[in-house]
């Protein structure tokens, strides 16, 4: 639309059964126009991109991704190799002229599929009616990618007006930025992450309150024991150390059991939330430190209060 923008038509008509039966089973393909890879930022690793020289009358070519090259041309230079779609007579329709970096077009959680890219204007003629019908449909432009510098105003009306001037019968179903596409794709993940974070904070708060209550109650029950120890000459500092040692032992035991459980749950969540790391040492360290601080507070405050009471009063405590 302007000097600093590029556009490209893409047809998402990939078939997973290319030719030489069985040779390329599992691959997918896309039709793209010149400038497509530069527009979306796909990196070229070998050879060249598809460009304006790839016309209907020129030799039929294709660009493959790295996964396709590793799977179907192992230990060989893929540039100059031939392959095709359909039946045996089409086994060498396309010559590989370039290799691009892998990209994920559907599900970011999935591995990159072996994919090859055909020029938008180059078509084949198949004897099979179904193959020929699919070949014709693959020439219908499905998506147009635009890369625009800056933040131009009223971009969507300008795009609709420009496309209408080219073909008034070309419908524009939807327009969105790349950021909007990413946001839509990860709405579910974002909701799950927020809910998991809220529930995690609630669980941490309940665990802290429960830990404080249990340890404080346990120390309070030992008020008579503390009074006897002090009556026999035990120092307040020694009482505090004893109570703190036992509290930290119980808290450490809980942490030792909880961390493996947390790691196991985290591995489960990594399969549900994209981009979540299998381990997060910072979060585990902070949670462990918080629980230990709560345990120390729960032990020290009641123990300090009990040790400050007159031993005779402590002995009569129930």
* pLDDT, greater one: 283 or 317: 283
- The token pair that represents 209 in the structure block: 């309150």
Predicted confidence (pLDDT) at residue 253 exceeds the cutoff of 70:
yes
CA angle 33, 34, 37 (to 5 degrees): 90
Distance, in Å, from the CA atom of 118 to the CA atom of 297, rounded to the nearest integer, reads 68
**Residues 227/309, Cβ–Cβ less than 8 Å:** yes
Distance, in Å, from the CA atom of 226 to the CA atom of 217, rounded to the nearest integer, reads 14
Query: Which residue is it, tokens 């302007």?
Result: 2
- The token pair that represents 90 in the structure block: 């089409």
Q: What is the mean pLDDT of the chain?
A: 77
Query: What pLDDT does residue 99 have?
Result: 96
What distances in angstroms separate CA 291 from CA 202, 203, 210, 299, one per listed residue?
14, 12, 11, 12
* pLDDT, greater one: 67 or 318: 67
Q: What pTM did the predictor assign?
A: 0.61
Count the neighbouring beta carbons within 10 Å of the beta carbon of residue 124: 17
Query: What pLDDT does residue 19 have?
Result: 38
- DSSP label at 124? -
Most confident of 17-26, 101-110, 114-123, 241-250: 114-123
Query: Residue 22 — pLDDT band, cuts 50, 70, 90?
Result: very low
Instruction: Give tens-digit pLDDT for 198-232.
Output: 888 898 788 878 877 887 787 777 777 777 777 77
């Amino acid at each position: 639309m302007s000097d600093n923008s590029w556009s490209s038509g893409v047809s998402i008509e990939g078939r997973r059964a290319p030719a030489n039966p069985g040779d390329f089973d599992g691959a997918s393909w896309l039709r793209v126009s010149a400038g497509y890879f530069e527009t979306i930022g796909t990196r070229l690793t070998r050879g060249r991109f598809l460009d304006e020289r790839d016309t209907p009358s020129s030799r039929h070519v294709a660009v493959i991704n790295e996964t396709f090259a590793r799977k179907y041309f192992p230990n060989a230079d893929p540039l100059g190799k031939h392959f095709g779609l359909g039946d045996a007579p089409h086994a060498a329709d396309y010559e590989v002229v370039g290799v691009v970096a892998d990209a994920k077009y559907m599900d970011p959680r999935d591995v990159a599929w072996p994919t090859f890219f055909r020029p938008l204007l180059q078509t084949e003629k198949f004897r099979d009616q179904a193959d020929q019908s699919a070949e014709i449909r693959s020439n219908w432009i499905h998506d147009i990618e635009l890369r625009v510098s800056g933040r131009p105003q009223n971009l969507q009306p300008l795009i609709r007006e420009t496309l209408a001037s080219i073909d008034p019968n070309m419908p524009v179903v939807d327009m969105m930025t790349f950021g909007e596409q990413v946001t839509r794709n990860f709405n579910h993940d974002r909701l799950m992450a927020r809910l998991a974070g809220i529930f995690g904070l609630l669980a941490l708060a309940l665990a802290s309150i429960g830990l404080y209550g249990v340890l404080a109650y346990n120390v309070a029950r030992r008020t008579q024991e503390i009074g006897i120890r002090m009556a026999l000459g035990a120092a307040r500092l020694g009482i505090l150390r004893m109570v703190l040692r036992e509290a930290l032992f119980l808290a450490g035991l809980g942490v030792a059991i909880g961390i493996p459980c947390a790691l196991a749950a985290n591995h489960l969540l990594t399969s549900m939330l994209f981009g979540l790391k299998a381990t997060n040492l910072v979060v585990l360290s902070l949670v462990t430190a918080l629980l230990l601080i709560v345990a120390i507070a729960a032990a020290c405050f009641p123990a300090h209060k009990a040790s400050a009471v007159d031993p005779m009063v402590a002995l009569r405590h129930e």
